[in-house]
């Protein structure tokens, strides 16, 4: 019970900590090590293996994107050249309007894909540069 005339105060303290990262804070390492000897070494090894795995996965993604990009360029070029040559063949065989349309469509397609690819590559580079 409280005495009359005296106020009893109550206090509330909230503590919030946040940490982000692969490894625990150095103080936490000693806690892990005291509970289970050798655990700090195991945590470091696990972080190293995870980092190595992530780098390997990034290499695979970069290689596959490069391969896909090259295949797309080659296929687009072949389709464009085939269309232009088909248009020229039509003109030679006496069909000037369909041949002109076909050849022009192929040429416009090639130029359009080139411009789009150059533009998207530029935007991607700008985004990467702005994130630094």
What local confidence, expressed as pLDDT, does residue 2 receive?
52
Q: Is the pTM of this model over 0.85?
A: no
Structural domain range at position 105: 26-131
Report d(CA 100, CA 60) in Å as an integer: 44
- Asked whether residue 20 is domain-assigned, the answer is no
Asked whether residue 98 is assigned to any structural domain, the reply reads: yes
Closest CA to 51 of 31, 21, 18, 30: 21
Domain count, the chain: 1
Q: How far is Cα of residue 126 from the mean position of the Cα atoms in its chain?
A: 14
Could you report the per-residue pLDDT of 104-128, keeping only the tens digit for each? 988 888 887 777 777 767 777 777 7
């Amino acid at each position: 019970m409280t005495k009359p005339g005296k106020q009893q105060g109550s206090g509330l303290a909230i503590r919030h900590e946040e940490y982000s990262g692969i490894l625990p804070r150095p103080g936490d390492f000693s806690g892990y090590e005291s509970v289970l000897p050798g655990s700090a070494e195991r945590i470091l090894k696990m972080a190293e293996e995870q980092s190595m795995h992530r780098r390997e996965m990034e290499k695979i993604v970069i290689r596959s994107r490069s391969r896909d990009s090259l295949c797309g360029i080659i296929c687009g070029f072949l389709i464009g050249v085939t269309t232009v040559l088909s248009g020229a063949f039509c003109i030679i065989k006496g069909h000037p309007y369909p041949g002109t349309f076909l050849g022009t469509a192929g040429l416009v397609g090639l130029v359009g894909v080139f411009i789009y690819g150059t533009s998207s590559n530029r935007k991607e580079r700008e985004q990467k540069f702005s994130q630094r």
